[in-house]
Chains A and B, each alone.
Chain A
Amino acid sequence: QKEVEQNSGPLSVPEGAIASLNCTYSDRGSQSFFWYRQYSGKSPELIMSIYSNGDKEDGRFTAQLNKASQYVSLLIRDSQPSDSATYLCAVNRIKAAGNKLTFGGGTRVLVKP
């Protein structure tokens, strides 16, 4: 079992719709959770972080965390063609010496006009 799992996609979404991305993780000690957006040929860019159970909203993005079920999700409302990218989920178990993220394989999202 991979430590962080994501559906590779592609997730095809009509423009204006909600894109829903899911991520599950295996380490119950994970404490910090992140979503990165990566455009083709570019480096990952941090778009959301979440540390406690529940929802966190930032503009058109909402991150949802459920530690009991070990999943974190990302909702993109009013999807735009510019949201077409690969979205990486990352989790962190803070250790005494280091802060090392474990990344999922990413979900490719295609927003069609």
Chain B
Amino acid sequence: DVKVTQSSRYLVKRTGEKVFLECVQDMDHENMFWYRQDPGLGLRLIYFSYDVKMKEKGDIPEGYSVSREKKERFSLILESASTNQTSMYLCASSFRDRGGGGYTFGSGTRLTVV
């Protein structure tokens, strides 16, 4: 069963901590994405990557960075966690060029920063 796996379902971190969210996909997708989802604000793109070591900023990259050292893995890093980064974080992946196919999402990580 093909899937996108996020390392943690729930996380609680303290303000100022460096936080790593990991995402792994087994579908040989070129594209990987990180979104956050908040009530009333919908899905907001943080960063995406269309190839190993490639990254592009999304709509809300401030306070975040990413790493893609291998095709199957895309990491989101919160350099210094703040309470306004409390959110549901969703990883997704897709093929780059095959007719513009849809995304497959991971199950999400609900992060609480206290």
Q: Which A residues are closer than 8 A to B by beta carbons? A: 31-32, 34, 36, 42-46, 49, 51, 88, 90, 92, 94, 97-101, 103-106
Contacts and interface: CB of A to CB of B under 8 A. Distances in A.
Contact of B101 (A42, A43, A98, A99): A99
A103 B96 CA distance: 17
B43 A88 contact: yes
Given A43-B108, A99-B94, A34 B50 contact: no
Nearest to B45: A100
B102 interface: yes
Contacts of B33: 100
Contacts, number: 61
A101 B90 contact: no
Interface of B: 31, 33, 42-43, 45, 48, 50, 56, 90, 94-97, 99-108
Contacts of B106: 43
B103 A32 contact: no
Nearest to B96: A99
Given A88-B43, A106-B42, A98 B105 contact: no
B33 to A, nearest CB: 8
A79 B101 CA distance: 27
A99 B100 contact: yes
A101 B96 CA distance: 11
Which 4 residue pairs of A and B lie closest in terms of their CB atoms, listed nearest first? A32-B100, A43-B105, A105-B42, A94-B100
